[in-house]
Amino acid sequence: MTRLTTVPPGERRPAGGRDPYLRLNRLLDTGSLRRVHPEDDLSAVAVRGRVAGAEVIAFCAGGEIGMGECLRIAHATDLAAAEDRPVIGVWHPGGTRLDDGVEALDGAGRVFAAMVRASGKVPQISVVLGPAAHGAAYGPALTDLVIVAPDGRGPLIDPTGFGAEPQARHTGVVHMVAGSRDEALDEARRLIALLTRPGRFDPAPPAGLPPDAAPDPRALLRALLDGGELTEMQRHRAPGVVIGLGRLAGGTIGVVAGDPRREGGTLDGVGAEKVARFVRMCDSLGIPLVVVFDAPGELPSAREEWDGVMLRGAKLLYAFAEAVVPRVTLITGRSADAMCVALNSRSLGATKVFAWPDADVAAMGDARYGVVDEVVTPGRTREKIAAALTAGVRRRGRHGNIPL
């Protein structure tokens, strides 16, 4: 959806297709843009505005980045943290301003420090619309969520660049690949709506789940979520596990689901790391979690051992054990080996653990261990999960969201 907007009265437009105000006006609600600094010739601008009615701070880097631009981006990030507002960075830079030399590098360091200060305090979203190098590459990588348009790519010397989909598939930096620049900005708006309007869980029993959706994690999650709307992240990376945001019974939740159709549902090291980062993000931003899985255990192989499956699995254990947000687990099939513990078990502090009647859970019938709180039918699953989240204490973790 295109919104017709204008730059502030009397504002000069930077030359070329990287006009920051055009980008920011496209991102923000119509007529809500308010500049936070005097008019000048810097290629980065910072503004206040609204997204889906929520107040945000946004900045856009639309040309060469030097010390002045870096200080502006750092100030915008600090301002967002001080005012407890999300910050959205739109990156379409033209590279580092070489005339600034070492000063530009110092400025980039100040940007990084500001992003770390804000980490875990307010949502930070990056929208990369073009090639990103140096500070424009590391800056987005420090934020919570990175959306990349088709022209976005990493800082390789090769003029073809490291495209959006390879970045999403191999590096783990990218969370969402958009089909166009406008779509990338719309994805940012959708995420802000979920993150800034968490809603309240409605205690009224919602409709149940179809049991035949269990083999397909996305179908199951869409059946679980309000309106069937799942905003998935990192779809191309570790496809054996699905992560994303949505609403359940009116409240925003983060969801994690294993895919039993891939490698028999086993979880590899990359998948464990993907889930761990997502869990820590949700915990730091106060987003409750629902974990759905059918997994026999970790993926056993010499390569996984050499690739650090133990360390990556430990990150997953740490993330769940540290999390204080309400978090519910639903076991739809198998649960054995370390996965019985690692994926939000009672021993790691899960709010509730439910299992479907046909689930195969080690020691499920032995109440001494409390592995499962209750066996529920698919028809009552949404009701039970919603009730558990409603009863849970709404808290948020006091930690940053370090890139894992």
Q: Are residues 170 and 253 in the same domain?
A: no
**Mean pLDDT, range 214-223, rounded to an integer:** 88
Residue 401 lies in a domain: no
Given a cut of 90, whether residue 36 has pLDDT beyond it is: yes
Domain end among 193, 228, 250:
193
Instruction: Answer for the pair 216, 388: CB distance below 8 angstroms, yes or no.
Output: no
At 341 the pLDDT is 83
Residue 404 lies in a domain: no
Q: Are residues 224 and 269 in the same domain?
A: yes
At 337 the pLDDT is 59
Q: Which has more confidence, 84 or 259?
A: 84
Residue 397 lies in a domain: no
At 64 the pLDDT is 83
Q: Are residues 119 and 266 in the same domain?
A: no
Token pair in block for residue 233:
């992240």
Q: Are residues 78 and 217 in the same domain?
A: no
Calpha distance 215→207 (Å, rounded): 20
Sole residue written with tokens 């969201």: 401
At 6 the pLDDT is 38
Calpha distance 141→126 (Å, rounded): 8
At 19 the pLDDT is 85
Residue 136 lies in a domain: yes
At 55 the pLDDT is 98
Given a cut of 50, whether residue 10 has pLDDT beyond it is: no
Q: How many domains does the chain have?
A: 2
Residue 47 lies in a domain: yes
**Domain range spanning residue 258?**
200-391
What percent of the chain is modeled with pLDDT above 90?
57
Q: Are residues 277 and 298 in the same domain?
A: yes
Given a cut of 60, whether residue 209 has pLDDT beyond it is: yes
Confidence of residue 5 (pLDDT cuts 50, 70, 90): very low
Calpha distance 127→138 (Å, rounded): 13
Q: Which of 286, 7, 341 is nearest to 120 (CA)?
A: 286
Confidence of residue 16 (pLDDT cuts 50, 70, 90): very low
Confidence of residue 92 (pLDDT cuts 50, 70, 90): confident
Q: Are residues 231 and 167 in the same domain?
A: no
Domain end among 136, 164, 193:
193
| pLDDT tens digits, one per residue of 326-342 | 999 999 887 765 667 88
Calpha distance 366→228 (Å, rounded): 35
pTM listed for this prediction: 0.89
Q: Are residues 238 and 140 in the same domain?
A: no
Q: What phi, psi does 76 have (nearest 5°)?
A: -60, -40
Residue 2 lies in a domain: no
Q: Are residues 226 and 333 in the same domain?
A: yes
Q: Are residues 45 and 185 in the same domain?
A: yes
Q: Are residues 309 and 213 in the same domain?
A: yes
Domain end among 138, 171, 193:
193
Instruction: Answer for the pair 389, 291: CB distance below 8 angstroms, yes or no.
Output: no
**Mean pLDDT, range 225-243, rounded to an integer:** 93
Confidence of residue 96 (pLDDT cuts 50, 70, 90): low
Given a cut of 90, whether residue 250 has pLDDT beyond it is: yes
Give the chain's mean pLDDT. 85
DSSP string, 180-248: SHHHHHHHHHHHHHHHH-------SPPP---GGGTTSHHHHHHHHSGGG--EEE-TTSSTTEEEEEEEE
Q: Which of 117, 177, 169, 170 is nearest to 145 (CA)?
A: 177
At 160 the pLDDT is 47
Side chain identity, residue 115: M
| pLDDT tens digits, one per residue of 284-333 | 999 999 999 886 555 555 565 556 678 888 999 999 999 999 999 999 88
Given a cut of 90, whether residue 196 has pLDDT beyond it is: yes
CATH code for position 156: 3.90.226.10
Residue 15 lies in a domain: no
Given a cut of 70, whether residue 97 has pLDDT beyond it is: no
| pLDDT tens digits, one per residue of 356-370 | 998 877 644 457 456
**Mean pLDDT, range 177-186, rounded to an integer:** 95
At 297 the pLDDT is 52
At 60 the pLDDT is 95
Q: Are residues 227 and 144 in the same domain?
A: no
Q: Are residues 175 and 235 in the same domain?
A: no
Residue 398 lies in a domain: no
